[in-house]
């Protein structure tokens, strides 16, 4: 039986390349769970870039990556990430 105080982790995560982000917000707008938000930081181009603000909500669906015109972000499910790590080992 799980405790109510156990931190619930999401099913996925996102990876961001802040240096190529143009701050269009498509990834944020199309995230079905609202897990992504703008960072308070600026990249070298002067744009706020996205971050995974609510890890517990991320499903790893990669809609953020599919809508990004600059390929600055992508999502992946934890189980798929673990499979890739095992293949490399």
Any domain includes 5: no
Q: Check: CB of residue 85 under 8 Å from CB of residue 76.
A: no
26 is written with which tokens?
A: 């498509």
Residue 47 structure tokens: 């744009």
Taking 70 as the pLDDT cut, the residues of the chain under it are 1-8
pLDDT of 2 reads 43
Please report which residue ranges of the chain form alpha helices under DSSP H.
Answer: 26-30, 63-67, 78-88
Domains identified in the chain, total number:
1
In-domain check, residue 42: yes
Q: Does residue 1 belong to any structural domain of this protein? A: no
Q: Can you give the pLDDT at residue 1?
A: 40
The CATH number of the domain where 23 resides is what?
3.30.70.20
Evaluate whether residue 19 is within a structural domain.
yes
Q: Supply the pLDDT for residue 7.
A: 53
Q: Would residue 7 count as lying in a domain?
A: no
**What pLDDT does 48 receive?**
98
Rounded distance between C-alpha atoms, residue 37 and residue 27, angstroms: 9
pLDDT at position 39, please? 98
The residue segments making up the domain with residue 51 are 12-88
């Amino acid at each position: 039986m799980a405790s109510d105080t156990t931190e619930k982790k999401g099913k996925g995560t996102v990876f961001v390349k802040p240096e190529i982000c143009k701050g269009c917000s498509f990834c944020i707008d199309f995230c079905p769970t609202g897990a992504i938000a703008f960072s308070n930081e600026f990249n070298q181009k002067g744009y706020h870039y996205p971050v995974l603000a609510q890890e517990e909500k991320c499903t790893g669906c990669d809609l953020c990556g599919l809508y990004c015109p600059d390929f600055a972000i992508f999502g992946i499910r934890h189980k798929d990430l673990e499979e890739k790590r095992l293949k490399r080992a």
